[in-house]
Structure 1
Amino acid sequence: MRKGQQTREYIIGKAARLFNRQGYRGSAISDIMEETGLRKGGIYNHFSSKDELAFEAFDYAVNVLKERYMKAIEGKESRVDQLISLFSIYNNIVEDPPLEGGCPLLNTAVDSDDTHPELKQKAQAAMNRWYDLVRMIIRSGIKKGEFRDDLDIEPVVTYLTATFEGGVMLSKLYGDSGYMQQTFRQMKAYILKELVK
């Protein structure tokens, strides 16, 4: 990899963590300079604008999450185990977050809601991919006879996702992974009681 590409990726990784902690609006170019140790010109040599950097940083953050999701379900034959494992990735969010600052989908959705339509669209697209993954696991589990075949999948996916993100938010707000762990236990109980055949 060429030095210019290495520098670009370094900036993206640092910016992803900064934006995830402080938000897009809460992060100035001076913060990015401090985080990377680069001058303004060094950053703008690789990115035409703060927006371009924010879009790439968001994609990087989502990729970090995707890798953690895939690792969580890797090697699990049962779709029930896959679904439960998928929601376990934030169990130690305070001590070992997939990405410093919490969930980039949640953070970006809140940060960009009424202020940055393009970032909001990126967050929606990423959430759609998350929904697709959860749907795929549930549909596959129905076909394999692991989940009830009369499930109404959309409300299940929405409930699990909203509960999951609520646990993330509470743990981040109070700096205590116990909120997420309690949420996860309840989600696991729901999956085993309400979804499993």
Structure 2
Amino acid sequence: MSKAEKTKQHIIEKTATLFNTKGYISTSLSDITQATGLTKGSIYGNFENKDEVAIEVYKYNAGLLGKTLSRSFSDEYPKALDKLHAFVDFYRKNWKFVFSNGGCPIMNAATEADDSFPALKNQVKKSFELWMSKISTAILEGQKKGEIDKRVNAEQYASLFIMLIEGGILLSKTMGDQSFLNHALDKITHMIDHELNILPS
């Protein structure tokens, strides 16, 4: 990496949690300089403006989450149902890490950037589309292999899983009680075992 690339990466990494906890709009340039130890001139020497920093930080935060979640859908789990269970288990095992870093970066950005930050909203849309694609692809593969009921609508279940998880995270974080997320994950597990599974347990 060049010196400029290293500086940009330093800025992104040092402000990743800051943007996710304080907000992509509320985080100020002064917050960025304090977190990075750099001057305003250095920040603007690497990014056009604060919005560009926010976009790149969102990509970084969403990318970290996506990279970790992608393991659930890898060849490590040959069966589709195992992939879906691994996806649920990720949230059971990592909810403390997600909460300590401000919650789900996709949901946080989505609620904040709705109409006030179109460029960020577009990035969030891409993240949700990618997430839904991974889940629905796993379901479709399971249907081809005879593991999952062919009457199941893969896209509908993919979106439902996301809605349940994001809602569970939101309530658990707001109420300070992880049971809301656990209820959502239990519901998804039940759907996997009793609605998707061709041979319900």
Counterparts of 1:114 and 1:88, CA distance in 2: 33
**TM-score w.r.t. structure 1 length?**
0.92
The 3-state SS of whatever aligns with 2:92 is coil
3-state SS in 2 of match to 1:62: helix
**Structure 1 unaligned blocks of 5 or more:** none
Partner residue of 2:10? Answer: 10
- The alpha-carbon deviation at position 179 of structure 1 amounts to 2.4
**How far apart are 1:42 and its partner, in Å?**
1.6
> Which stretch shows the higher mean deviation, 81-90 or 58-67?
81-90
Tell me whether 1:71 sits opposite 2:71 in the alignment: yes
* RMSD of Structure 2 on Structure 1 (CA): 1.8
- Please state if 1:152 is matched with 2:153: yes
**Where does residue 167 of structure 2 map in the other structure?**
166
Higher relative contact order (CA 8 A, sep 6+): 1
SS at match of 1:151: coil
Q: What is the CA–CA distance in structure 2 between the aligned matches of 1:21 and 1:93, rounded to whole Å?
A: 17
Shift of 1:2: 2.8
Contact 1:91–1:177 (8 Å) recurs in 2: no
Matched positions, count:
197
- Residue ranges of structure 2 left out of the alignment (5+ in a row): none
Q: Percent identity?
A: 32
Q: Could you tell me whether the CA contact under 8 Å between 2:73 and 2:138 is conserved in 1?
A: no
Alignment of 1:5-154 (within 5 A): 5-74=5-74, 75-92=76-93, 94-97=95-98, 100-154=101-155
Please tell me whether the aligned partners of residues 106 and 124 of structure 2 are also in contact (alpha carbons under 8 angstroms).
yes
Distance apart, 1:156 and its partner CA? 1.3
TM-aligned CA deviation for residue 92 of structure 1: 4.7
| Cα displacement (A) at 1:98 | 8.4
Could you state the TM-score of these two structures normalised by the residue count of structure 2?
Answer: 0.90
